[in-house]
């Protein structure tokens, strides 16, 4: 998915808090280490119900990022109308990157034109350094495409 499309999706949703998004979509959040299968969080859909699993005891800011990350998966990958069979052959790494970008753009309120130190801010609100650095690079590339035109590059992070 193109960076621009992720920005548009965040723009559609940024007026609601993560809690409001979760409630409006009828998503359950369960805090259970065993059901996270060794990860800090995950999202699953079964029998028509979407559930976000969060490892309990994580720092509050990081948990907030994880909820946004999982909501990124929901809005970017689970509500696209793609069949479950097609989702089995998806590109997991790309989907993880897209969910990270979604969460970070939401935290930045889609304001990527005001300063150059997005990674510093993102780290201060619970985003892991590696993810903040990656999103910083995506924002830089996106700004370059906007500056120099899209003739030479179609940006997908």
72-97: pLDDT as tens digits: 999 998 876 655 555 555 678 889 99
pTM for the predicted model, two decimal places: 0.86
Can you tell me whether residue 28 is helix, strand or coil? strand
Section 31-54 average pLDDT: 94
Residue with tokens 């906007």: 146
The 3-state secondary structure of 81-139, one letter per residue: CCCHHHHCCCCHHHHHHHHHHHHHHHHCCCCCCCCCCHHHHHHHCCCCHHHHHHHHHHH
If we measure between CA atoms, which residue out of 116, 31, 15, 111 comes closest to residue 66?
31
Token pair for residue 157?
Answer: 């992070």
Separation between Cα atoms, residue 151 and residue 47, nearest integer Å: 44
pLDDT of residue 152: 47
């Amino acid at each position: 998915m193109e960076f621009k499309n992720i920005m548009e999706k965040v723009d559609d949703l940024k007026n609601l808090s993560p809690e409001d998004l979760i409630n409006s979509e009828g998503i359950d959040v369960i805090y259970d280490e065993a059901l996270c299968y060794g990860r800090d969080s995950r999202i699953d859909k079964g029998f028509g119900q979407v559930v976000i699993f969060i490892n309990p005891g994580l720092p509050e800011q990081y948990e907030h990022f994880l909820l946004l990350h999982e909501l990124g998966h929901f809005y970017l990958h689970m509500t696209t109308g793609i069949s479950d069979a097609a989702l089995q052959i998806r590109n997991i790494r790309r989907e993880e990157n897209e969910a990270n970008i979604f969460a970070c753009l939401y935290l930045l309120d889609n304001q990527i034109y005001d300063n150059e130190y997005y990674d510093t801010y993102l780290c201060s609100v619970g985003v892991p350094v590696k993810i903040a650095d990656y999103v910083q690079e995506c924002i830089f590339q996106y700004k370059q495409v906007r500056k120099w035109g899209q003739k030479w590059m179609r940006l997908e992070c």
